Structure 1
Amino acid sequence: MTGILVTFAAILGLAVGSFLNVVVHRVPLGESVVSPPSRCPGCETRIRPLDNVPVLSWLLLRGKCRTCRCRISPRYPLVEVGTGALFAGLAAHFGAAPELPAFLYLAAVGLALALIDLDCKRLPNALVLPSYPVAIVLLALAVAGPAPLSALLRALVCGVALFLVFLGIALVKPGGMGFGDVKLAGLLGCYLGWVGWDSTVVGGFLPFLLGGAVGLVLMALRRAGRRSAIPFGPFMVAGAMIAVVAGQPVGHAYASFVLG
């Protein structure tokens, strides 16, 4: 049963990843994600359904438009594969738990936000703000099943707490963190709080650790300086996803080490 669920989640992730490519391109431009249909950026020819199959079409077309042979970035299949892998990993971790749809949504919107932040250095309200009610509704539906009400209450508390922590950081050090990061922190806090207190702490701390490590590497390679602006959203999403899966054991291990 688990194998079937993971396989289905992976296939669903590939399809969702194809849609995320549209979202990442159009949302920063303020364009609709449903109309007009996808077209080749070179010749403006509408992409045929058979040429829009995730990953497979890109491979068969050798990364080029069928009509004008314009190069199609390998980022498109990579996003599709990445989304499929995230979906499969979450399905394997949660199994058929009622909260799985909520975390699949987190993976999808989180990946889209991370890519947009890398491209544009901003986290659009058009994605972040609607994700709050979506998260609350999906987690509330999980409570309507076998999940405990305490998990939803903890999620709301942790969402507010992480929002306030990041807001405090943004106010204490203006320019060091954007308000988009603050709003994203509240959303991620809801999901982390659902998993547990340990995951919330680990998920709140990891972005700074990951961001600092990447910043040091970039400076060592002379690709960035001490004052270079590095998008923080991708580290927040990565830290949250790691904490969702491994936050509790990491938190327990740290507590055991500190307390002996």
Structure 2
Amino acid sequence: MDILISIFITIFGFIIGSFLNVCIYRIPKGQSIAYPPSHCTNCDSEIKWYDLVPIFSYLLLLKGKCRHCGEKISIRYPVIEFITGVLYLVIYIKYELTLTTLKYIAFITILIVVGIIDLDTTDVYFSTTIVGVVLALSFIAASGYLYSDFKQYIYGGLLGGGVIALIIVLTKGMGWGDAEICLYSGLFLGLKLTIVMLFFSFIFGSVISLILIALKKKNRKDYIPFGPFIALAAVFTVIFGDKILLWYGIF
């Protein structure tokens, strides 16, 4: 039974990943994520359902090209589908069939969209922020009936958003979109895990930025969006945060 559930959750993740590709492409353009149906961005031909099967269609049917015009399709599409499915599976294995699993699946889904859009555009959109906040508050309300410490999630949101807001006010070195991401990340994670997320956001940001500069992909004056590092740190925290807190005797 566990194997069947694992397979179902993974396939479900692949399907959601396909939808996330639509969100990542359309949200920055101000387009509807529901209409029109998926189409080639080069020739505008509508993509048939059998060419939309996550990963399989790209690799075996289309072989990375549009069926109609032959335009190359970015490898990023199946990669996002694959990563989404794997992350869903990892969360299920870790948290089993619980409200926490549902919460973190919703959280990681938002992080994938926000992180990649920020990477592409250096912008964080209110339409994604409001979804993150509403979902987080919904899970806090639900957990309030199950746990006595639900207030820690409110404190987590205040800490996450507050720390980044303070940095913005003092240094102007970050954008308000980063504060928004940390706000709802804190609402999802709670106070203690938010501390872990903030710490690793700066660690990942520093290390990856130095690597990009060393490889001459970026120079010291280039703006590097911080949102993807927050998203990466938040995913890392969802999976390993409790072990880190246990290691330091905090949890």
Greater alpha carbon shift after TM alignment, 34-43 vs 135-144 = 135-144
Structure 1 partner of 2:161: 163
Q: 3-state DSSP class of the match of 2:211? A: helix
Alpha carbons 2:104, 2:238 under 8 Å: kept: no
Distance 1:218 1:98 in 2: 38
Structure 1 stretches of 4+ with a deviation exceeding 3 A read none
Q: Among the aligned pairs, what percent are the same residue?
A: 31
Number of positions where the alignment pairs a residue of Structure 1 with one of Structure 2: 249
Conserved 8 A contact 1:2-1:95: no
Question: Structure 2 length as normaliser, TM-score?
Answer: 0.94
How far did residue 255 of structure 1 move? 5.2
Query: Residue 149 of structure 1: SS of its match in structure 2?
Result: coil
Find the aligned partners of 2:6 and 2:187 in 1 and give their Cα distance: 24
TM-score normalised per structure 1: 0.91
CA distance in 1, matches of 2:174, 2:207: 17
- Among 211, 230, 241, the alignment partner of 1:236 is 230
Structure 1 residue 142: deviation in Å?
4.1
Equivalent residue for 1:190?
187
Q: How far is 1:143 from its partner? A: 4.2
Letter matched to residue 148 of structure 1: Y
Distance apart, 1:254 and its partner CA: 3.7
Q: CA deviation at 1:82?
A: 0.8
Instruction: Determine the C-alpha separation between the residues in 2 that align with 1:67 and 1:219.
Output: 40
- TM-superposed deviation, 1:155: 0.8
Separation in 2, partners of 1:203, 1:84: 22
Structure 1 unpaired stretches of 5+:
none
**AA at the equivalent of 2:244:** V
Alpha carbons 1:18, 1:79 under 8 Å: kept: yes
Task: Please show how residues 215-230 of structure 1 align to structure 2 within 5 Å.
Answer: 215-230=209-224
2:147 aligned partner: 148
* 2:45 corresponds to: 45
Q: Structure 1 residues 99 and 255 mapped into 2: Cα distance closer, same or farther (>3 Å)?
A: closer
In 2, the alpha carbon distance for the partners of 1:143 and 1:54 equals 37
Flag the 1:120–1:210 CA change in 2: closer, same or farther, 3 A: same
Q: Take 1:108 and 1:3, find their aligned partners in 2: how far apart are those partners?
A: 22
